[in-house]
Amino acid sequence: MTTVPQQISLEEWDARYTELQQAGLHEPEYGGPLSRHVECEGDLRLRQLRFDNSAAALRLWNFLLTENERLHKARAQGDLLVGTMKDLGTVPAMVYSLPGVRAFYPDGTWWTPCLMSCTDRLLEQAEALGIEALSCPVRAMLAAFENQEHFPIPDLLICSVGATCDDFSAIAQRLAHLGHPVIWWEIPRRRVPDPDESACPLPGGLSAPQVQVELVREEIERVAVALGDAAKRKLDTQLLQAGIRAANVVRRQLAALRTAVYGSAGAPLPALEMLIAEMLAIHFCSDRTECIAVLEELLAEAQARLAARQFIAPPDAVRIYWVNPPADLRAINLLEECGGRLCGADFMFTHALEPIPEDLPPIDALARVALADPMIGSATERARRIVADCRKTNAEAVVVARIPGASHCPWESEQIRSIVRAETGLPTVELEVPPICDGLLPTLRHRLETVIEIARARRKSK
């Protein structure tokens, strides 16, 4: 860290990049100025975002924005590519246990219309393929499979079904109808064990009936066999244990980063970069080794800033807990613009941030983590966890982002907000964020400013 931390525009990043280069910036293979992603890849939305100005953030963004390119390269080098869908974090931990195999989430394409400012036309193409505009932006994935202009078509597709969003399940089925074979595995709706059932502890302080853990274990075993068959190498206990240990390195790094950033008086890193960093947990952005290096640098940057008491958001910024990822990354920039800062988040994959138990047989451990998914239990259970997180992080307000067309949002958003209000008294606000939210920016800004104003007023009254 050599300069004062601040959020800068893409144009400002060009000058900053030259400055860093002159200072002897050492970059990985995928490095380069951020603006090239606009020029070469059409990631036009970057022009409207505000980025952290550190070299660590540059590396993070370059890592994220070169994922498709890196996947194509990996394919050319003979790596086996596995498309994992919906489970967010469990199957990739298994995939990366096998040498020469990479996992990625085609679901991630849901952010492509945002990044490319809809010039990719994926949403319209998905409509032409039979998925209506009323559906979640994740429908972009279907079009990306068909036009093959984004990620390489995976050699194997694995999708969890059961307690999942209807929109995603419908889109994945459409994908199968279009000729992409899918291995479906069942993830049951997590429930509280009945009094006469034996309960099994899950990561994150949750529990599930033993019978559900056994079911998921059996399904994960089936997935492991399929992976082994595709990779022509048995995914045995030893490989899985090593894979879990490596996945836990990432999870521990993220835990340290969250503690450093969310726990500090001021915010050493912006909300947007924290969202991107947390996302790395689910499939390591297709490169586990590099993911660890990226996070290491980011954590070092956050710690250095904390030591120097340099912040992106000042200590008096209102501490916001954020629920669900926004479909437009621009929306999360609003936090700092409105006088807030991120102090915690549930971006729908809290289970991918929990360490995978290393003292259990690996398949059993993976089953437990899969069952700790916040999206497969009741909204009440998810809300209670959010309440606990809010208390732990001294949150002053809660923002629930709504994803247009996602089947879970209309039901759970209000339930989460009412439980949070009842149990903590915190002000809450719901923001529906479409893939490009420019038209709604004034409204979103007003809503955020209002909730931040209320939080400030509560501070004074204490």
List of residues contacting another protein (CB under 8 A): 129-132, 134-135, 159, 161-167, 169-174, 176-179, 182, 184-186, 188-189, 191, 194, 196, 211, 215, 218-219, 222, 378-380, 405-412, 414-415
Is 107 or 273 the residue whose CB approaches another protein more closely? 107
In the complex, minimum distance from the CB of residue 400 to another protein, in angstroms, rounded to a whole number? 14
In the complex, minimum distance from the CB of residue 45 to another protein, in angstroms, rounded to a whole number? 25
In the complex, minimum distance from the CB of residue 288 to another protein, in angstroms, rounded to a whole number? 29
Is 129 or 444 the residue whose CB approaches another protein more closely? 129
In the complex, minimum distance from the CB of residue 252 to another protein, in angstroms, rounded to a whole number? 32
Is 167 or 396 the residue whose CB approaches another protein more closely? 167
Is 17 or 185 the residue whose CB approaches another protein more closely? 185
* Complete edge-to-edge strand list for the sheet that includes strand 318-323: 340-346, 318-323, 397-402, 428-432
In the complex, minimum distance from the CB of residue 162 to another protein, in angstroms, rounded to a whole number? 5
- The answer to whether residues 341 and 284 touch, using CB atoms and an 8 Å cutoff, is no
In the complex, minimum distance from the CB of residue 325 to another protein, in angstroms, rounded to a whole number? 17
In the complex, minimum distance from the CB of residue 39 to another protein, in angstroms, rounded to a whole number? 33
Is 189 or 392 the residue whose CB approaches another protein more closely? 189
d(CA 28, CA 31): 5
Is 46 or 416 the residue whose CB approaches another protein more closely? 416
What is the full DSSP assignment across 235-268? Answer: --HHHHHHHHHHHHHHHHHHHHHHHHHHHSSSBS
**Regarding beta strands 183-187 and 51-52, do their DSSP bridges make them parallel or antiparallel, or are they unpaired?**
unpaired
CB atoms within 10 A of CB 227: 25
Is 182 or 275 the residue whose CB approaches another protein more closely? 182
In the complex, minimum distance from the CB of residue 128 to another protein, in angstroms, rounded to a whole number? 9
- The answer to whether residues 222 and 91 touch, using CB atoms and an 8 Å cutoff, is no
Residue 79 tokens, joined: 């790596």
d(CA 180, CA 176): 5
Q: Which of 255, 243, 278, 244 is nearest to 204 (CA)?
A: 255
Is 142 or 277 the residue whose CB approaches another protein more closely? 142
Task: Give 51's contacts (C-beta < 8 A, 6+ positions apart).
Answer: 7, 8, 9, 10, 13, 34, 57, 61, 270, 272, 273
Q: How far is CA 216 from CA 202, 222, 308, 320, in A?
A: 13, 10, 47, 35
